[in-house]
Every structure is written in structure tokens, then in C-alpha cells.
Amino acid sequence: MMTIDGKQVAEKVLAECAEEIKALAAAGVTPGLAVVLVGEDPASQVYVSSKVKKCGEMGLHSRKIVLAADATQEELMAVVRELNADPAIHGILVQSPPPPHIDEDAVVRAIDPRKDVDGFHPENVAKLVLEDPSGFVPCTPAGCMRLIAESGISTVGAEAVVVGRSMIVGKPMAHLLVAKGSDATVTIAHSRTRDLAAVCRRADILIAAVGRPEMITADFVKDGAVVIDVGINRVKDESRKSGYRLTGDVAFEEVAPKCRAITPVPGGVGPMTIALLMSNTIKAAKLANG
């Protein structure tokens, strides 16, 4: 059993980014990322801060824009329009999920697709499905693909099962796995899938992206499977100073012994998401500067 070290692979991606940032700097370009947070969700606050912090470490320009939880749709749309027009900003990210009164789909559609480093705009979704490399691929699934590749695991001809059908992870992940070059046979499973455990047991590569702590137990996993755990769940833990600990969608202790390879939480997919966000921001800066 191999535990996949997401921090180490993320460092490799970030080292590649550093090279590209140097080349852009020589051409007088500093990639810029704007991160927009609406409301005070504690997990989202952590994600947004770590994205902005990483920009600083990498020498990228960044802006963090925080709107109150009761900000209106129009206020948020105005922020997006301003960022679309700002030449120092190459990437725009609105942290998901926004408060329930916000129409997230309308916000995503308002982002200039050339600045959509999350890859959520319909134009970029279409490019992913069309396998057009000029688009932006959502950071988390792109990070999962890189983790699998860097671990020396071939997806060609493999049975891949993606649990979860979100537009952020599940659906783009399935498209990446089935795309030419990756060549997996893909099943997308979800909360309404009949006999989910049996479907998951078919998987050579199992991607857990459901957002339910430790839902994937040993009986969901075939011997020798590769398990990628996308979940970052906060569960109550009075023994911690914070009052909680982070756990994945996979019951790591019981699943790991059955696996060929597995990602831990934390330290698996999480660091890759930020690394790929830096990579997408650099791609956007190149796009804007020919």
C-alpha cells in the first residue's frame, strides 16, 4: 500500500509554476488572481486565505474581496464586472458555495471565460468535454489527474468510478478520466445509485467526491484499487483546540490496507487544488499577454 503524498506532488507543480513566473516576469508580466468570498463560512474563509497566501509566496499579485453575507446579487455582479475589466487581474475565483440567496450560475456566467481559472463557465465546461486544451480545467479534478499520473498509475483501460456528480469535481473528473490519453472506462455514481458499494467495488480507480465523512468503507473497495479522496469534512473533535478535525470521504484506516495507493486527508488532494489554481492563473496571464 502506497500513501500518495499530495504535498510533495504539489511542490513539484509549484516548482514548475515558479519557472513560468520567472519567464513572465522577464517579459514584464505579473500574473494576478482575485478571490471573492461572500459571507463568513469558516471553511471558505480558510480556503480563500490559503489561496491568497500561496499567491504571495509565489510572487503573484492577488486581491481578496470579501462581501457581507447579505450582499446582493447585483453587488457581487458589479465586483465581477470590475475584475473582468481590471488588466492586473488574470484570474477570478468566486468561492463556492455562496449564500443561498445568490444565483451562483449567473455569477459564473458573468466571469470573463478567459479569466475563469476555476473552469466553471459554460465555455470552459464545453472545452473540457470537447477536449479543447485552450480552456481552463477545474483545479481539483485536474489536481487528481496529476496525482494519479505522478504516482505512476496508468488509467488506460481501467475501470474508474467517480462518486459524486458536482460541477466542481464529479462531472469534470469523469470527463478527464474518459478523455483521449487517459482512456479510462468511467462510471459516475451518486446518492441515488442503486447498490453503491457494489458499483464502487468494480473500480480500479475510485474517486470519492461526495462530502460525507468516511462514507466509503472497506466493503466499497476492491483489493488493489487506487483510491483518491476528495472530501474535506469537518467533524467534531473535542480533543482538538479547534474543536474539530478534518476527515475525508473515505474511512482511511480500514480502506488503506486494501489499496494499491490512497490519498490521505489532509495532505492528499487539498494541496493539489491550490497548486493547479496557481497553474491556471499563470495560463490566464499568458493568454492575456499573447
Strand partners, 244: 236
In the bound state with ligand GUN, the residue whose beta carbon lies nearer, of 121 and 127, is: 121
Decide whether 93 or 216 has the Cβ nearer to ligand GUN: 93
Q: Which stretch binds ligand GUN (CB under 6 A): 4-12, 64-72, 78-86, 91-99?
A: 91-99
Q: How far apart are CA 225 and CA 238, in angstroms?
A: 33
Residues from 243 through 272 that contact ligand GUN (CB under 6 A)? none
> How many residues bind to ligand GUN according to rule CB under 6 A?
9
93 binds ligand GUN (CB under 6 A): yes
Piece of 57-65, 87-95, 172-180, 196-204 that binds ligand GUN (CB under 6 A): 87-95
Binding of ligand GUN by 168 (CB under 6 A)? yes
> Which residue number, 31 or 143, has a Cβ lying nearer to ligand GUN?
143
Is 34 or 93 the residue whose CB approaches ligand GUN more closely?
93
- Relative to beta strand 205-208, strand 159-163 is parallel
139 binds ligand GUN, rule: CB under 6 A: yes
Beta strands in the chain (DSSP E): 2-3, 32-38, 61-67, 91-94, 159-163, 185-189, 205-208, 226-229, 233-236, 244-247, 261-262
Tell which residue, 69, 92, 88, 91, has the closest CA to residue 79: 92
Stretch that binds ligand GUN, among 89-97, 123-131, 153-161, 219-227 (CB under 6 A): 89-97
d(Cα 250, Cα 262) in Å, to the nearest integer?
A: 10
CB of 81 to ligand GUN, least distance (A): 18
Give residues with Cβ within 8 angstroms of 177, minimum separation 6. 145, 155, 160, 162, 184, 186, 205, 207
Name the one residue in this structure whose C-alpha cell is 471558505.
Answer: 44
Chain residues that interact with ligand GUN, rule: CB under 6 A: 93-96, 118, 139-140, 168, 273
